[in-house]
Amino acid sequence: MVRQLLTDFEDVEEVNKQLDTMGYNIGIRLIDDFLSKANVTRCSEFRETADVIAKIGFKMFLGVTATVSNWNADFTECSLVLDDNPLVDFVELPETCQGLYYCNVLCGVIRGALEMVSMRTEVKWARDMLRGDDAYELRLKLIEHVAEEYPYKDDD
Amino acid sequence: MRAGSREVAESCLDGITMEMVATYCDRLHSSKPDLAARRIEAIGFQVGQQLAERYTRDRPRFTDHLEVIKFICKDFWAEVFKKQIDNLKTNHRGVFVLQDTRFRWLTRISVDSPLTPSEANNTTLAAAQAGGKYLYFPCGLIRGALTNLGVPCAVSAEIAALPACSFIIRIKV
């Protein structure tokens, strides 16, 4: 699919964006699947959320685990380092695609899933082995908690 | 699970499949359904070629076209869709029809129940149209696999009644 997108768009940045959008659309549905199977309670803080994604989420969907690290001072930003990445089996990036984030779908999935549980986030790849780094590291940043909106006001 | 093979959750594959169809049919080429179909089929073709290679690595070469088709119906289908093709027909002149009475990707599609007989007709049509989008990729998959295994062909699909469908293979001479 990534290969086809590259053929259709020819611009690596555009492909990155498409992958992120597709991931987002998948994520907003995947969260229901996760919540129905994972038996987790509501996370009280972002630290817990990151742990749940790393230990339970990744395991459930991709069969791998991630470690959480590199928290910033107020615990709104952290890194998720994957111990393995099944999306990239048999994949090599040619020279013409050096700006590509092959696994950008994952960023969108996490962002979409978290938005459905009221967290607006930014998810980016910090390290990508297909681009020559030594690990797969996602940088997860909480932008804000979004208050849940109810369609009817109580006092109307 | 074979040693050394890895698996991801099926919901991931469902997610990607649905999103691929939505992206190409609704977002990128909403006014050109044929173009969207060709793109998705092309993705399937690539994947089919690679899967065929992977699944036949340890096997001896196939002796004739029928052997290849049977491989698709049994081993290949089982690897990809966790079941075999239910029915294989041929006219012995290069056309094969593969029937799957419960195609995995069509089991998730639902169409509202009809209220009147005329609505019933529309429902069948709507179902066929809705489901048809999800058959471009499998057609490409089959075409890619067969082509890589030495059987050049054209593949199309038909939905008789959800979730059953048929794949029609026409071998090119």
Chain A and chain B share a number of CB contacts under 8 A equal to 47
Q: For position A23, what pLDDT does the model report?
A: 93
Q: For position B154, what pLDDT does the model report?
A: 96
B15: nearest CB among A4, A29, A63: A29
Region A87-116: mean pLDDT is 89
Q: For position A89, what pLDDT does the model report?
A: 85
A21 pLDDT band (50/70/90 cuts)? Answer: very high
Quote the CATH superfamily of domain B5-171.
Trafficking protein particle complex subunit 3 (3.30.1380.20)
**Tokens describing residue B49:** 């070629």
Tell me the per-residue pLDDT of B125-155, one tens digit each, with 9 for 90 and over.
777 777 888 999 999 999 999 999 999 999 9
Q: For position B44, what pLDDT does the model report?
A: 94
How far is residue B154's CA from residue B168's CA, in Å, rounded to a whole number? 8
Q: In the predicted model, is pLDDT for residue B1 greater than 50? A: no
Q: For position B2, what pLDDT does the model report?
A: 37
Cross-chain Cβ contact A62/B8 below 8 Å: yes
**Predicted model pTM:** 0.83
B19: nearest CB among A8, A22, A63: A22
Cross-chain Cβ contact B23/A62 below 8 Å: no
Tell me the per-residue pLDDT of A139-151, one tens digit each, with 9 for 90 and over.
999 999 887 666 6
Q: In the predicted model, is pLDDT for residue B59 greater than 80? A: yes
Cross-chain Cβ contact A63/B12 below 8 Å: no
- Chain B residues lying within 8 Å of A105, measured CB to CB: 16
Cross-chain Cβ contact B28/A8 below 8 Å: yes
Q: For position B105, what pLDDT does the model report?
A: 86
ipTM score of complex: 0.78
Q: In the predicted model, is pLDDT for residue B120 greater than 90? A: no
- Chain B residues lying within 8 Å of A26, measured CB to CB: 12, 15-16, 18-19
Tell me the per-residue pLDDT of B73-89, one tens digit each, with 9 for 90 and over.
999 999 999 999 999 99
Tell me the per-residue pLDDT of A106-116, one tens digit each, with 9 for 90 and over.
999 999 999 99
A109-123, A129-143, B20-34, B107-121: the lowest-pLDDT one: B107-121
Average pLDDT in chain A = 88
Q: For position B3, what pLDDT does the model report?
A: 38
Q: Which of B10, B11, B21 to mutate to test the interface with A (most CBs of A within 10 A)?
A: B11
Region A112-125: mean pLDDT is 92
The full 3-state SS of A5-71, as one line of letters, equals: HHHHHCCHHHHHHHHHHHHHHHHHHHHHHHHHHHCCCCCCCHHHHHHHHHHHHHHHHHCCCEEEECC
Region A67-94: mean pLDDT is 90
Which residues, 6 or more positions from B39, have their beta carbon under 8 angstroms from its beta carbon? A4, A8, B24, B28, B29
B46: nearest CB among A3, A25, A61: A3
- 3-class secondary-structure state, position B154: strand
Q: For position A147, what pLDDT does the model report?
A: 75
Which residue do the tokens 């768009």 mark? A9
